Amino acid sequence: MDKQEEMAALAILIHDLRKHKKMTLSDLAERIGRSVGFLSQVERGLSRPTVADLTAISEALDVPTTYFYSLGKPRALRWVTRPGERRTLYFADGITDILTSPNMHGAFNMLESLLEPGASSGERQMSDRSEQGGYVLEGELCLWLGEDEECATLYPGDAFQVASYARFRYANQSDKPARVLWVYN
């Protein structure tokens, strides 16, 4: 799938889940602190949510964030993924997440995040029901945890772990791309 097809698939997932939960656009927009217009554009595939937006949407709809990676691509081996078989989400603000886990049924899931220079998870801190950790493969990742006003800058080989429901945000404040391997439970 290309970026447009991926964005359309995400829009359908969000719309259908919201309808299934019998929630109006207004209800969901209020729960995530965004406008009805923004949410309507996301559901029509006209705008990309930030990582923080999608995390807030998943919490409001009572599903793990990884729910939105559930449209897998066909694979020859069900326990292996190859680069061309992976589900990809393209977020606003320069972040691309690639689901590297072969399925969503295990005790943990893995994502590869690609952050363009200046990319950000969003201005607002997010909180996810999943405990998660990461390993910086390339570039730099700036991570704010809790009320910290200073970021912890992580470099290739650095790792981190964030408790479930901890408030955090992240960004690539460098002028080079960054790659991070995330692990969620």
pLDDT digits (tens, 9 = 90+) for 96-150: 998 888 876 678 889 999 999 999 998 888 888 889 999 999 999 999 998 878 8
Residue 23: both structure tokens together:
């929630």
Let me know if the fold of 3-69 is the same as that of 83-184: no
pTM: 0.72
Domain boundaries, the chain: 3-69, 83-184
CATH architecture of 83-184: Sandwich (2.60)
DSSP state for residue 21 in the 8-state scheme: T
The architecture (CATH level 2) of 3-69 comes to Orthogonal Bundle (1.10)
